[in-house]
Amino acid sequence: MDYNLAIITQDLSKNYGKTLAVKNLNLNVPYGIIYGLLGPNGAGKTTTVKMLNSMIEPSSGNAKVMNYDIITQKKEVKLNCGYLSESPSLYEKLTAREFLEFVGELYYITPRMNAKRISELLVLFDLTNKENDLIKTFSRGMKQKLGLCAALIHDPEIIFLDEPTSNLDPETSRTVKDLVLDLVKKVNKTIFLCTHLLDTAEELCDKIGIINNGTLLIEGKPRDLIKSVDAKDLEDAYLKMLRISRNKDVLSWR
Ligand SMILES: Nc1ncnc2c1ncn2[C@@H]1O[C@H](COP(=O)(O)OP(=O)(O)O)[C@@H](O)[C@H]1O
Ligand SMILES: [Mg+2]
């Protein structure tokens, strides 16, 4: 067991009935990096992240997050991890500040500390002048920023972001990307990012795993992956790798 790893998975698998969403996944994520899990729709990215956050249990295999067991130490996993889902559930009839107060209470943050954290996060995301507005009046980008504030409120060590920039305008997307970089560079957090946006992955990620049909095809530094298939950039490498794996699927009956 390597204690310097933020996330280790051992044959992590999940099936929904007959659908094998994730198959024998073995990932290693060191502390203090941005790890990107890439793959097409339905590849198993969201299922992986939900397992790693102790939101759903694996069908077989296991994982440790900050050395906590995702099956037997769910509470520790949740207290140490932040999670932004693909479509965050926000309570539309609360104001932004009320919602963040509620989330902070769920993490046992004291009211005084909570108020301080909320003010800092609202400033960071430029939402201060909207803090008393009902969430139902928020645009998609504002809701995403609020979802990120909620994911960061308990100052987690590891932050899971599922498609964090996919529905954002370029300016908000830039804010989120810069924040992700700052979280790693300035405060040494570990980020686990799911995305199908390859330019975002190439810019942000120190290490990348490519998953297809629930199976990890390859894992490595972006520039090593690009070199390994003689590609010109990550998009080119990604397409080449998926094509190779698709050809293998086509021939699997032989
Ligand atoms: N709650 C669920 N019930 C049944 N099937 C699911 C459920 N969630 C995901 N799946 C299936 O599992 C597979 C992986 O989905 P998902 O993890 O959401 O992929 P991704 O996030 O990479 O798009 C897909 O075939 C999807 O249809
Ligand atoms: Mg998904």
Residue with more model confidence, 12 or 173 = 12
Residue 2 has pLDDT above 80, yes or no: no
Residue 139 has pLDDT above 70, yes or no: yes
* Residue whose CA lies nearest to ligand 1 atom number 4: 16
Distance from the CA of 98 to the center of ligand 2, in angstroms? 28
The predicted model gives 45-54 an average pLDDT of: 97
Task: Provide residues with CB under 6 Å of ligand 1.
Answer: 16, 19, 21, 39, 41-47
Residue with more model confidence, 128 or 175 = 128
- The number of distinct structural domains making up the chain is 1
Residue 210 and residue 39 in contact, taking contact as beta carbons nearer than 8 Å: yes
Helix ranges restricted to H, 63-110: 74-80, 96-106
Ligand nearest to the CA of 40: 1
Distance from the CA of 10 to the center of ligand 1, in angstroms? 20
Residue 251 has pLDDT above 60, yes or no: no
pLDDT of residue 152: 94
Per-residue pLDDT tens for 119-136? 999 998 889 999 999 999
* Residue whose CA lies nearest to ligand 1 atom number 7: 16
28, containing H or E segment: strand 28-30
Residue with more model confidence, 84 or 169 = 84
Residue 254 has pLDDT above 60, yes or no: no
Eight-state DSSP code of residue 94: S
pLDDT of residue 46: 97
The DSSP bridge pattern shows strands 34-38 and 81-84 to be unpaired
Per-residue pLDDT tens for 58-72? 999 999 999 999 999
**Beta-carbon count within 10 A of 249 CB:** 10
pLDDT of residue 245: 67
pLDDT of residue 125: 86
Residue with more model confidence, 89 or 36 = 36
Ligand 1 atom index nearest CA of 86: 21
pLDDT band at residue 175, thresholds of 50, 70 and 90?
A: confident
Ligand 1 atom index nearest CA of 163: 21
Distance from the CA of 4 to the center of ligand 1, in angstroms? 30
Query: Residues whose CB is under 5 A from ligand 2 (ion)?
Result: 45-46
Ligand 1 atom index nearest CA of 196: 22
pLDDT band at residue 248, thresholds of 50, 70 and 90?
A: low
Distance from the CA of 115 to the center of ligand 1, in angstroms? 37
Distance from the CA of 8 to the center of ligand 1, in angstroms? 22
pLDDT of residue 6: 97
Q: What is the DSSP string of 210-226?
A: EEETTEEEEEE-HHHHH
Give residue 114's domain range: 5-250
CATH number at residue 61: 3.40.50.300
The predicted model gives 219-225 an average pLDDT of: 94
Nearest to 23 by CA among 33, 15, 32: 15
Residue with more model confidence, 88 or 244 = 88
By most ligand atoms within 8 Å of CB, the mutation choice from 46, 56, 166 for ligand 1 is: 46
